[in-house]
Structures are given as C-alpha cells and as structure tokens.
Amino acid sequence: MEVINYPGTEDTPKIILDRNNGIFEISGRSLPEDSAEFYEPVLAWLEEYAKNPNPETTFIFKLEYFNTASSKLILDILSKLESISNTTVDWYFHEDDEDMEEAGCEFSELVEVPFSFKKY
C-alpha cells in the first residue's frame, strides 16, 4: 500500500498512514477549505487497509484544533476503524485543553473502538 504522508500546514493536519512502519497519525490543526475532499484519500486508504490490516493498529490523534466540518470526517475515520480488528485510538490533548479532551470523550462514546487519553 502507498504511504500517505501529508505535511501539516496552518489549516491542514499532518497525516501519516504507513502500514509497514505501523504509523497511523493525524496531528495539528484541521481547518481545510473542503474537509470532505481533503479527507477522502484517508478514508479510501483505510477502506483498503481494512481488507488486510496489521495484527495491531494504534491510530494517533494529536489535534490542536478542528472545525465542525472536520469533526464529521474525524467521526467517519473513527467509524472506519471499527471494522479493523485489534485497533486502538490514542487521543492526545494538551494538559490544559479541556475542549480537546472532551471532544475525544464524545468521539469515544460514538464508536466501538478502545480509546486511550494521553496528555502532552
């Protein structure tokens, strides 16, 4: 599978999806102009990955901020992870960022994927 490696910008998150090295991470700020278009390759990659996943998958979210449109796509990504066995989510948030911690808690209640919450 091709590696997805998007460098982060002021408005878009850094995304690394690297099956061979076991790196699955979305980090930074997510305010893309068109969230659906921006995240479409990620969703397609996960769809393909789900057919033959690694024995274990840890998906890291280390977001500083995301807009409402991005939250819908983040939920879509988390929903895709439900179909991948032995997947966990590591949800990182700044120690003083209650909003991001709360967002992770809300997402964890909406999907059947184990979450770990980590302060940084």
Q: What is the pTM of this model?
A: 0.96
- Structural domain boundaries of the chain? 4-119
Topology of the domain comprising 4-119: Transcription Regulator spoIIAA (3.30.750)
* Per-residue pLDDT, 12: 98
Say how far apart CA 117 and CA 44 lie, in whole Å.
26
> pLDDT (tens digit, 9 = 90+) per residue, 33-60?
999 999 999 999 999 999 999 999 999 9
User: Which ranges constitute the DSSP H helices of the chain?
Assistant: 35-49, 68-81, 98-110
